[in-house]
């Protein structure tokens, strides 16, 4: 499945991400509640793992917002909040499952697998946005039907940007996707890779509206259709 992990503790987020990837899932991360809610409503994932204590918008607010908009994506709440009234409140707001921290990874994976058996998954072997197609299964990128050769890191960076099209992706999120959470990446290394992506993706129509925009002080943005 395509799993979205909304968790502001980066250590926990990366631990969960690694376990899910090893179990065969595709994973996106968000460390911010408001951004995470936008990613859920974008409809590009099959399941969200949701913390309660998040910056900008907490997990309860996210649940209310997405259910008010008739979003039926399964939500597994993964949090240290263990008070029974809070747990019941989460279910009342539309949570599908609830797991309290600290948790055993094998149990989390079993809960995810149980949800996977109950719901149809979104067919996202290919991601399409702004004329670019990214085939995750074959690891091929194309624009307007023309195949674009990408290195493994370029593919990981472009996939992260495209799954978050229309949203700012921070430098930290891109470094996590391309090199891993604990990697010691030089300041300009990411910029070099993004420049290489731009060169490979660009065509005449991009002079006034580049696909990958720099958001100074924040990160990068893949332009939505």
Asked whether residue 134 falls in the same domain as residue 108, the answer is no
What pLDDT was estimated at residue 124? Answer: 55
Domain that holds residue 141: 126-222
Average pLDDT value over all residues in the chain:
87
Asked whether residue 20 falls in the same domain as residue 79, the answer is yes
Asked whether residue 131 falls in the same domain as residue 93, the answer is no
Asked whether residue 112 falls in the same domain as residue 135, the answer is no
> Distance between CA 151 and CA 202 in Å, rounded?
16
> Distance between CA 202 and CA 209 in Å, rounded?
10
Asked whether residue 164 falls in the same domain as residue 218, the answer is yes
Residue where a domain stops, chosen among 83, 118, 153: 118
Asked whether residue 122 carries a pLDDT value surpassing 60, the answer given is no
**What is the tens place of the pLDDT at every residue in 15-62?**
999 999 999 898 999 999 999 999 999 888 999 999 999 999 999 999
Grade residue 182 by pLDDT with cuts at 50, 70 and 90.
low
Asked whether residue 93 falls in the same domain as residue 142, the answer is no
Asked whether residue 132 falls in the same domain as residue 109, the answer is no
What distances in angstroms separate CA 220 from CA 98, 100, 149, 210, one per listed residue?
33, 34, 21, 11
Asked whether residue 111 falls in the same domain as residue 131, the answer is no
Q: Where are the beta strands (DSSP E) in the chain?
A: 2-6, 26-30, 47-50, 75-79, 97-100, 126-129, 132-135, 140-143, 146-148, 168-170, 212-215, 219-222
Residue where a domain stops, chosen among 118, 137, 167: 118
Asked whether residue 162 carries a pLDDT value surpassing 60, the answer given is yes
What pLDDT was estimated at residue 164? Answer: 83
What pLDDT was estimated at residue 67? Answer: 93
Residue with token string 């129509």: 205
Residue where a domain stops, chosen among 79, 94, 118: 118
Q: Count of domains in the chain?
A: 2
Asked whether residue 147 falls in the same domain as residue 176, the answer is yes
Residue with token string 């509206």: 209
What pLDDT was estimated at residue 158? Answer: 92
Q: Which has the higher per-residue pLDDT, 160 or 205?
A: 160
**What is the tens place of the pLDDT at every residue in 165-181?**
888 888 888 988 888 76
Asked whether residue 109 falls in the same domain as residue 175, the answer is no
Asked whether residue 63 falls in the same domain as residue 159, the answer is no
Length of the chain (residues):
225
pLDDT > 70 in the chain, percent: 92
**CATH code where residue 28 lies:** 3.40.50.2300
Which one, of 139, 138, 134, 152, lies nearest residue 201 by Cα?
134
Asked whether residue 10 falls in the same domain as residue 96, the answer is yes
What pLDDT was estimated at residue 7? Answer: 96
Grade residue 152 by pLDDT with cuts at 50, 70 and 90.
confident
**CATH code where residue 216 lies:** 1.10.10.10
């Amino acid at each position: 499945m395509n799993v979205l992990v909304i968790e502001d503790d980066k250590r926990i987020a990366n631990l969960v991400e690694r376990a899910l990837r090893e179990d065969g899932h595709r994973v996106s991360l968000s460390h911010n509640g408001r951004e995470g809610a936008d990613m859920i409503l974008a409809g590009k994932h099959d399941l969200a793992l949701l913390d309660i204590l998040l910056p900008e918008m907490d997990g309860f607010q996210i649940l209310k917002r997405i259910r008010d908009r008739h979003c039926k994506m399964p939500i597994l709440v993964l949090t240290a909040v263990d008070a029974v009234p809070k747990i019941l409140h989460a279910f009342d707001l539309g949570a599908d499952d609830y797991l309290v921290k600290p948790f055993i990874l094998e149990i989390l994976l079993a809960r995810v697998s149980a949800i996977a058996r109950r719901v149809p998954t979104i067919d996202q072997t290919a991601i399409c946005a702004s004329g670019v197609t990214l085939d995750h299964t074959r690891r091929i990128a194309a624009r307007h039907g023309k195949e674009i050769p990408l290195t493994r890191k370029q593919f990981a960076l472009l996939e992260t940007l495209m799954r978050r099209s229309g949203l700012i992706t921070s430098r930290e999120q891109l470094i996590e996707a391309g090199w891993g959470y604990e990697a010691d990446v030089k300041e300009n290394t990411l910029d070099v890779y993004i420049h290489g992506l731009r060169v490979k993706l660009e065509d005449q129509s991009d002079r006034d509206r580049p696909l990958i925009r720099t958001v100074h002080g924040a990160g990068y943005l893949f332009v939505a259709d």
